[in-house]
Structure 1
């Protein structure tokens, strides 16, 4: 599967789950917006960027930048709160879905701890708090 197909698979999984939970989901026309979806939670609209994550060293990892190629050069731009409100992540290894507010996301990549850490540290961000069941805005 190429990266476009992987991204489409993640978007389809996220959209199906959100609609199944009673959210209204809109898809912007074209590919020029920094977000993939607009999710209506009845209280507000959320601009959502869908990403595919994977398990790496006991963590869920996903990229938090947008890669563009122009005139043969590639540029990665981090998303900001002006661009998106949250990331919806499909872990390709477990098919688990996560909702991560932009304020939690790091630069370039975000790591959410799934397995217990060898040394617990207050700066470790645990993945379970961002599972769809725990983190989605109320409908």
Structure 2
């Protein structure tokens, strides 16, 4: 069976199974999104799901963890990198669906079905990822893992600007410490940002801002970091991305808060 036909068959099978279980599922209009479907949990959380075909080889389920694009030079592959929340992997030979979080692997993953000759602690046992074992996903585990991934992204971006960066291990509310040229230290908390109505918004929550110097807001949809001082807002702040509004003095334009344009304030 051709690749695209196999993918269509897998997607139809998974969607049918979700409907059979009375799990709300939606299909995006057009081909602009990197996820295949949106799935709603009993807690009313919306998850972006990429559906993959698993291949049973040598006692393991293997599946592609990157998207493939064909151009004039051949095939290119791109990591999903935060564009989806979960992979639903359907293996036709077993007629099973496995659920894997996007944060649970780097560039590849195999699910072990049969006992190997030597058992190693790094084995990902397929039974632990079966749909019934993992549905509905636990929001706390997902949030912790996703937040850790965001902190890693921000730390790498700060390092790219040649800053001295340390990951905080036990300071409440502080994720990263940056050392400035004057041997002073800047305390930073990292938080996800959401693109809503043309603005990047974030929730500072109950963070003790008196113990912090900066917020770095990472908007995954824009793949952009924004640097906001802890004393630049009261309870919340929105960073305007879309300029299709009446220009008012109180607008906080997102481009003025981009990390690259403000990074000198950390030195």
- TM-score normalised per structure 2: 0.44
- Relative contact order (C-alpha < 8 Å, sep 6+): which is higher? 1
2:224 to 96, 105, 116: 96
Say if 2:189 and 2:215, in contact at 8 Å, map to a contact too: yes
Distance apart, 1:88 and its partner CA: 0.9
Give the whole-Å Cα distance in 2 for the aligned partners of 1:51 and 1:3: 11
1:42 aligns to 2:181 (yes or no): yes
Query: Alpha carbons of 1:123 and 1:99: their partners in 2 closer, same or farther (altered >3 Å)?
Result: same
Query: Alpha carbons of 1:92 and 1:106: their partners in 2 closer, same or farther (altered >3 Å)?
Result: farther
Give the whole-Å Cα distance in 2 for the aligned partners of 1:94 and 1:5: 20
Query: 1:5 matched to which residue of 2?
Result: 145
Query: 1:69 matched to which residue of 2?
Result: none
Bigger share in strand: 1
1:16 to 140, 156, 161: 156
1:26-56: per-residue Cα shift (whole Å, max 9, x none)?
Answer: 12223x5221111112233110000010100
Q: Which SS does the other structure have where 1:12 is aligned?
A: helix
Bigger share in helix: 2
Query: 1:64 matched to which residue of 2?
Result: 204
Say if 2:190 and 2:217, in contact at 8 Å, map to a contact too: yes
Q: Which SS does the other structure have where 1:53 is aligned?
A: strand
Unaligned runs of 5+ in 2: 1-84, 86-141
Query: 1:71 matched to which residue of 2?
Result: none
Most deviating of 115-124 and 92-101: 115-124
Q: Which SS does the other structure have where 2:192 is aligned?
A: strand
Deviant stretches of 4+, over 6 Å: none
Q: Which SS does the other structure have where 1:9 is aligned?
A: helix
1:56-87: per-residue Cα shift (whole Å, max 9, x none)?
Answer: 0000111112xxxxxxxxxxx2432x221000
Query: 1:115 matched to which residue of 2?
Result: 242
Give the whole-Å Cα distance in 2 for the aligned partners of 1:126 and 1:21: 22
| Rg larger for | 2
Query: 2:128 matched to which residue of 1?
Result: none
Distance apart, 1:106 and its partner CA: 3.5
- TM-score normalised per structure 1: 0.81
